Structure 1
Amino acid sequence: MTLKTIIVDDEHLARSLIKDYVSKVPQLELINEFKNAIDAMTFLQSHPVDLIFLDIQMPNLTGIEFVETIQLNNTMVIFTTAYSEYAIKGYELNAFDYLLKPITFPRFLQSVNKAIKQFELINQSSSNREEEEIEKTSRVDQVITKKDSISIKADYKLHLIKYNHLRYLEGQKEYVSFHTTTKNILALASLKKMEAELPTDQFIRIHKSFIVNKSEIESLEGNMLGLGDVELPVGQSYRSQLLKLFE
């Protein structure tokens, strides 16, 4: 993972110094450098950038005017300047950091390490949201409950199982194993969602990891429910509801 980086500074020596510092940090990828803010603004319109090292005192358009003019979204800005009086204005513009020239490498590295951590947090949050959306979509596509059967997409096949052939369901983290009278099918699904969608007159939740077909139940001994050749644990919070089937 690297941060796409640009340098904007009208001084050649200042750009060269930061360019040298950037080359020493593997997580930074310098994709361009500019001697004025106007050219940088044009570049940003068509190129995503994660981090900008931006000088404040520049002709035509200052670094502060640049930030006030363009929408940067999640792009982080580290101001670089020889004038400490601009620091307050820089922070008012939500600049990520402020480096006072002459910039030393330890101070540069301190700022960059904070930026890398921030970048990781932003991308982790975005990735989690994407995974959640993908998982939600996948679960809808993988398992569809019908009036008297359930349709499951697994192993590159579509399986149609009658409810009276479905013995029990077993939750396995992000997956559910559907145990039928003839085979087991593992599919991306939520046991909680299955509990809500399966007909309650035919199925009952007995444990945080198990839903069973009522017609398969044969015995209850202690906290173990017998389904013929299979014994399943009964969760304490589900026991009272299960006992009603034996009354």
Structure 2
Amino acid sequence: MTCIIIEDEIPAQKILQNFIGKIPSLELVNTYKAAIEANSFLNSNTVDVVFLDINLPDMSGLDFIKTVKNPPAVIMTTAYPEHAVSSFELQTIVDYLVKPFSFDRFLKAINKAKDRMEVVQPLEESKGEAIFLNVDKTMHKIVLDSILYIESERNYITLVTQTQKFSFIDSLKNWVEKLQGKQFVQVHKSYLINTELVDKIAGNTLFLGGNKIPIGRTYKSNLLKVLGI
């Protein structure tokens, strides 16, 4: 796995660099002291993991990662544990390391990042049906079985898989038609979901992959029918 460090404190940088060097499967590409420096890199390059400090000189790590399109897995590092709850609200964040942290705790975070990256791999190996998605001049292979849901907001679509999130200009209507006959059902004027990955339904809320999706009144009966409820 490739990774970068975004950390303004030199001692913290050295600890991360030392820990990364102990894991043969982890390759450190670069280290940055500020979010704005890393932004230029991430706009034209991809890595598997970002070690991201929350308190950075130009902007907070949490604010920064929200601006990155299709962000990689993020492991937050900070001396302030009170930020943990807000950190985990972002789907791309896989773990939260509170300084000072041990190598054992660091290794646990790496394993979480690996688990996230490998979720889709069994689907690809089984040659599941896939499509190619053109986002930011890059063609991304998306295995249909890995898609959790598709959300519409104004003229934009956000397609969320088990490991990634893509936002682009399109309409939900186009995706309803594109995925017709598959395991996808529209459950709200703004949501299309993968029925194979539904965890549970409580009232007018649907749960899948740790996400809460509202169920529209006019769509509920069809959803229950498709699910055989």
Which amino acid is the alignment partner of residue 29 of structure 2? I
Match 1:90 to one of 74, 87, 90: 87
Could you say what secondary structure the match of 1:30 adopts?
Answer: strand
* 2:45 aligned with 1:18: no
Q: CA deviation at 1:80?
A: 0.2
Give the Cα separation in 1 of the matches to 2:74 and 2:125.
22
Could you say what secondary structure the match of 2:51 adopts?
Answer: strand
Q: CA deviation at 1:120?
A: 2.2
Aligned length: 130
Structure having the higher Rg:
1
Question: Structure 1 vs Structure 2: percent identity of aligned residues?
Answer: 40
Ranges of 4+ aligned residues in structure 1 off by more than 3 Å: 122-129
Which amino acid is the alignment partner of residue 113 of structure 1? N
Which amino acid is the alignment partner of residue 26 of structure 1? P
Q: CA deviation at 1:132?
A: 5.5
What's the counterpart of residue 195 of structure 1?
Answer: none
* 2:67 aligned with 1:69: yes
TM-score by length of 1: 0.49
Which amino acid is the alignment partner of residue 69 of structure 1? T
What's the counterpart of residue 100 of structure 1?
Answer: 98
What's the counterpart of residue 34 of structure 1?
Answer: 32
Q: CA deviation at 1:115?
A: 1.3
Give the Cα separation in 2 of the matches to 1:118 and 1:37.
24
CA RMSD for the aligned pairs? Answer: 1.9
Closer/same/farther in 2, CA of residues 70 and 102 from structure 1, 3 Å limit: same
Could you say what secondary structure the match of 2:59 adopts?
Answer: coil
- Would you say the 8 A contact 1:53–1:80 is kept in 2? yes
What's the counterpart of residue 54 of structure 2?
Answer: 56
Give the Cα separation in 2 of the matches to 1:127 and 1:33.
34
Segments of structure 1 that go 5 or more residues without pairing to the other structure are 134-247
Closer/same/farther in 2, CA of residues 132 and 22 from structure 1, 3 Å limit: same
What's the counterpart of residue 203 of structure 1?
Answer: none
Q: CA deviation at 1:126?
A: 4.2
Which amino acid is the alignment partner of residue 55 of structure 1? D
* 2:75 aligned with 1:78: yes
TM-score by length of 2: 0.53
- Would you say the 8 A contact 1:27–1:116 is kept in 2? no
Closer/same/farther in 2, CA of residues 46 and 69 from structure 1, 3 Å limit: same
* 2:102 aligned with 1:119: no
Q: Residues 174-213 of structure 1 correspond to what in structure 2 (within 5 A)?
A: none
Higher relative contact order (CA 8 A, sep 6+): 2
Residue deviations 1:90-128 (CA, integer Å, cap 9, x gap): 001121110000011010011111211222223443454
